[in-house]
A and B are shown apart, each in its own frame.
Chain A
Amino acid sequence: MDLDLTEDQESIRDVFADFFSSETGPGRAREAEPLGYDTRAWNRLMETGAPGMGVAESSGGGGATLADLTVVVEEAGAQIAPLPLVDHMVAARLLATIGTCDDDVLAGATIAGLALRPPVDGVARTVPTGAVARQVVALEGDALMLINGDPGDHLGNHGCLPLAHRSLAGAKVLAEGPDAVAAYGRALDEWRTLTASALVGISRTALALGVGYARERHQFGKPIGSFQAIQHLLADLPGLLDGARLLTAKAAWAGDRAIAGQTGVADIGDNEITDFATLACMALVSAGEAATTATDRSLHVHGGYGFSEEYDIQLYFRRARALTVVLDDPARECRRLADMLLAGHATGITA
């Protein structure tokens, strides 16, 4: 057991913490609204190799593990980077798995994304990167489809994500059958894991903003951070945040092990969970809750200023909610998780 980052991961963290704080950050996120995409920052990110770093070296990528990618993505989340990084990383890995990740996707010159939900009437709805990605991978029935064409019309939204509906008309079938479904399922679990990491980054900055404001803002002759009512709103957050980060790291660890062929278990009776799909779902729900709670409390501590556009916390507040629900209602995710956890406990009365 080892709960520290590796030395390489510490270097990755430092490099990308520098990158995202100088090339992105709340000011740039504000400028990138409402689309939620910063062309200049993406072009700079391409120079770092980040868009293809998660693709296996044998496919021309950087060979980074899922655990490595969580480290990069947390820093992007912490700086509320208006970049389709998670979706692109996941889609590139998926495309590489089935042998169709082209050089432009590897480099990031072509942005790729993932349709998170089954298409309805031939349309993949609210694709998270739909308004900026040329390539979108969707699963229709048991067919893995590639939508390749101009980005869709942006749908203005709560979190200023580049959402768009994308039609499957003219989409190419990449693969079909159980293997295609499994590859897509695996990609969704990677999306859950990395999005959880982005939410951890958001939680981290939201907490820091709340603590910083509480130390500076004076009322009744004292910093409001000296009042216990304010302190206790904030003191619950480090445990939520660290817990979500640990669970996300464990999901990534399980995901990397699964690629290496090691299967996991999911035994709630003994609290022994090492299965990737289970942990990925848990990580997203946990990080979504941490981020919505941290941004909610931090915004509240800011008083009226938290509600104003001028202060950064509102950016984090809206993005936290967007990333928490863009896949699905967390309650439905929990019911899906229950189906996995209780599979061995079919009831005696109904089938």
Chain B
Amino acid sequence: MDFSLSPGAVEFRAEVKAFIAEHLTAEVVTQMHATGTFNDKAFNAALADAGLLAGAVPGYGDRDPIELYILFNELEKAGAPYDGLAVTMLVAGVVNAAGTDFHRSQVLQKLLTGRFNCCLGYSEPDHGSDVASITTKAVRDGDEWVITGQKMWTTMAHVSDWVILLTRTNPDVPRHKGLTMFLVPMDTPGIEVQPVPTMATERTNATFYDDVRVGDEWRLGEVDGGWAVMGVALAFERGVMGGTNPAVPLLRHVRDWAAEAVSPDGGTMLDDPLLRERLARTAIANQVSQLLTLRAAWIAATGGLPGLEGSMAKLYATGRYQQAVGWFQEMAGAEGLLGFDTDGAAADGWIDYDARHAPVTTIYGGTTEINRNNVAERHLGLPRNR
């Protein structure tokens, strides 16, 4: 095995780091947490203009696919607003894999400019993990489809240009065989976006679809073939597109806080043996998370679909992140409860932020339980339990 990056990848990483140093200003970070929108159109456009998005679409183009991993890993480590960009590039990958020439020219090329966004319309109020049971329906009417229903957790819908929408087109067949995916322009009449505030700083949305009419050219994949398109999207989503190294900025913030914070036992918190042990354990978990993610990226780079490996990376990384956040908030005591811009906040409010954000990471993008089911059934070969 060789854990060194190729010279080209090293160069690319240096470009990304230089970009982040220049463009990830305090204003950008403040803005993302103040608005709850972890997406910055000017930042995305600048990334594209710097030529850094050319390799950011999974399965597309001739750049070294390790660039995809590097880009999102560096953005995540730096605490940059990359959530919207990751979803957008994920959709770009799905469009590339399952779309038509029309989709590629109308959507994919625009997404590569960094000036457009997409969001995911899978979950519904009554159907989350059991996504094959969704009820938003699409009914054919000549060359058009009429879509009616409601989606939940459509994060970034309020800044998006398209939503990929999972719909039911056939209620009379087994549930996963009657689904069709659409790529719907968000300015189509009949779409309404309502904000859903969260306990963390990020906002998400509920979206409503009332007799939304789109032409058949906006269908993504076969009629009743939506489940296969979902499979591609999920394999791209888990592991490779960020989300598996959230404890890197946390560790950095806590380390810097501990070096200055006075310990009730005397000295600084960085002298506390238990905190030192926990910082080390978090550093180990961060390395393991990075390697599990790198493996998923490596499999993608060598022509595979790393669905299971992505599940393993997400299971491990998100569990360890939550554990670390719990440790550090307890050890910071009352100051660990104080948020951004608050006098005395431990780590300038980052511990409070991470403690608020961490719970969602074992839920979104496939819950821990769904990922365990995947590993149990498809990796360990245990009998299906549902």
Residues of A within 8 A of B (CB): 1-5, 67, 207, 211, 214-215, 222-223, 225-228, 230-232, 234-236, 238-240, 242-244, 246-247, 249-250, 253-254, 268-271, 273-274, 279, 282, 285-286, 331, 334-335, 337-339, 341-342, 345-350
> What A residues does B284 contact at CB under 8 A?
247, 282, 285-286, 334, 337
Chain A interface: which of B23-31, B224-232, B285-293?
A: B285-293
**A213, chain B: closest CB distance, angstroms:** 11
A residues within 8 A CB of B2?
1-2, 253
Contact A211 B382 (CB under 8 A): yes
* Between-chain CB contacts (< 8 Å), 15 pairs: A1-B3, A1-B294, A228-B385, A231-B372, A235-B380, A238-B380, A243-B312, A268-B251, A269-B252, A271-B77, A273-B287, A282-B283, A331-B277, A337-B284, A341-B283
- Bound Cα distance A215, B281 (Å): 34
Which chain A residues border B382 with CB–CB below 8 Å? Answer: 211, 214-215, 225-226, 230-231, 234
B34 interface contact, C-beta 8 A: no
Complex formed: what's the CA distance from A203 to B345 in Å? 42
| B247-269 residues at the A interface, CB under 8 angstroms | 248, 251-252, 255, 259-260, 262, 267-268
In contact, B4 and A1 (Cβ under 8 angstroms): yes
User: What 11 additional pairs, Cβ within 8 angstroms, besides A226-B383, A268-B286?
Assistant: A3-B295, A232-B376, A234-B380, A239-B316, A243-B291, A253-B1, A268-B279, A279-B287, A331-B277, A338-B277, A338-B280
Contact between B380 and A349 (Cβ–Cβ < 8 Å)?
no
Please tell me which one of the listed residues A67, A231, A271 contacts residue B287 in the complex, with CB atoms under 8 A apart. Answer: A271
Closest to B282 in A: A268
B346 to chain A, nearest CB (A): 16
Residue among B2, B271, B376 with the highest chain A CB neighbour number at 10 A = B376
Chain A residues within 8 Å of B127, by CB: none
B277 and chain A: residue at smallest CB distance = A334
Is B252 within 8 A of A347, CB to CB? no
Decide if A345 touches B271 in the complex (CB within 8 Å).
no
B267, B277, B279: the one contacting A349 at CB < 8 Å is: B267
Contact A337/B1 with A226-B382, A226-B383, A247-B291 known, Cβ cut-off 8 Å: no
1/0 per residue B1-35: CB within 8 Å of A? 11111100100000000000000000000000000
**Complex-state Cα separation, A250 to B287, whole angstroms:** 10
Interface of B is mostly: helix
* B245→A271 contact, CB < 8 A: yes
B268 to chain A: which residues have CB within 8 Å? 347-350
Asked if residues B255 and A268 are in contact (CB atoms below 8 Å), the reply is yes
B252 adjacent to A1 (CB under 8 Å): no
Q: Is the CB of A3 within 8 A of B385?
A: no
Give B107 Cβ to nearest chain A Cβ, in Å: 32
Give me the 8 closest cross-chain CB pairs, A-B, nearest first.
Answer: A239-B312, A231-B376, A338-B276, A235-B372, A243-B288, A226-B383, A246-B291, A334-B280
* B residues near A349, Cβ cutoff 8 Å: 262, 267-268, 271
Residues of A within 8 A of B385 (CB): 226-228, 231
Question: Which A residues are CB-close (under 8 A) to B273?
Answer: 335
| Structural contact, B3 and A250, CB atoms closer than 8 A | yes
Tell me if B235 is interfacial: C-beta within 8 Å of chain A.
Answer: no
Specify which chain B residues have a CB less than 8 angstroms from the CB of A238 in the assembled complex.
312, 375, 379-380
Asked if residues A235 and B291 are in contact (CB atoms below 8 Å), the reply is: no
**B1 and A5 within 8 A (CB):** yes
List of A residues within 8 angstroms of B267 by Cβ: 347, 349-350
Give Cα A304–Cα B164 distance, bound, in whole angstroms. Answer: 51
Does the CB pair B291–A231 fall under 8 Å? no
Whether a CB of chain A sits under 8 angstroms from the CB of B330 is no
Closest to A210 in B: B380
C-alpha gap A349/B265 in the complex (Å) = 12
Query: Whole-angstrom distance from the CB of A335 to the nearest CB of chain B?
Result: 5
Which one, A225, A246, A337, A345, contacts B288 given CB within 8 A?
Answer: A246
| 0 or 1 for each of B352-386: is its CB under 8 Å from A? (1 = yes) | 00000000000000000101110111011111110
Asked whether, in the complex, the Cβ of B372 is within 8 Å of the Cβ of A1, the reply is no
User: Min CB distance, A40 to chain B, in Å?
Assistant: 34
CB neighbours (8 Å) of B316 from chain A are 239-240, 243
Give B293-321 interface residues, CB cut-off 8 Å to A: 294-295, 298, 309, 312-313, 315-316, 319
- Contact yes or no, A337 B280, CB < 8 A: yes
- Shortest distance between the CB of A89 and any CB in chain B (Å): 19
Which B residues lie within 8 Å of A235 (CB)?
A: 315, 371-373, 375-376, 379-380
Q: State the Cβ distance, B119 to closest chain A Cβ, in Å.
A: 29
- Is B94 interfacial (CB 8 A cutoff)? no
The residue from A269, A273, A335 contacting B277, defined by CB atoms under 8 A apart: A335
**B166 CB–A CB distance under 8 Å:** no
What is the minimal beta-carbon distance from B363 to any residue of chain A, in angstroms? 16
Residues of B within 8 A of A271 (CB): 77, 245, 248, 283, 286-287, 290
Q: Closest chain A residue to B383 by CB distance?
A: A226
A70 — nearest CB in chain B belongs to which residue? B1
B3, B271, B383: the one contacting A223 at CB < 8 Å is: B383
Residue from A231, A243, A244, A254 having most chain B Cβ neighbours under 10 A = A243
Residue of A nearest to B286 (CB): A271
Choose one: A223, A231, A347; the contact of B270 (CB below 8 Å). A347
The answer to whether A345 touches B312, judged by C-beta atoms less than 8 angstroms apart, is: no
Closest to B279 in A: A338
Nearest CB to that of A222 among chain B residues? B383
Instruction: Collect the chain B residues with CB atoms within 8 Å of residue A231's CB.
Output: 372-373, 376-377, 380, 382, 385
Residues of B within 8 A of A3 (CB): 1, 294-295, 298
The answer, among A234, A243, A279, A342, for a CB contact under 8 Å with B376, is A234
Q: Among B255, B260, B280, B292, point to the contact of A242 (Cβ < 8 A).
A: B292
Structural contact, A225 and B283, CB atoms closer than 8 A: no
| Binary A-proximity of B316-352 (CB < 8 A = 1, otherwise 0) | 1001000000000000000000000000000000000
Give the residue among A67, A225, A236, A273 with the most B Cβ atoms within 10 A: A236
Q: Give every chain A residue within 8 A of B248 (Cβ-Cβ).
A: 269-271
| Across-interface contacts of B271 in A (CB, < 8 A) | 347, 349-350
Asked whether any CB of chain A lies closer than 8 Å to the CB of B66, the reply is yes
Q: Find out whether the CB atom of A247 lies under 8 angstroms from the CB atom of B295.
A: no
Q: In angstroms, how far is the closest chain A Cβ from the Cβ of B274?
A: 9
Residues of B208-229 at the interface with A, using a CB-CB cut-off of 8 Å, are none
Residue in B1, B270, B294 whose beta carbon sits within 8 Å of that of A345 in the complex? B270
Cα distance A227–B386 when bound, in Å?
Answer: 10
Are A282 and B315 interface neighbours, CB within 8 A? no
Question: Is there an interface contact between B373 and A335, defined as CB atoms closer than 8 Å?
Answer: no
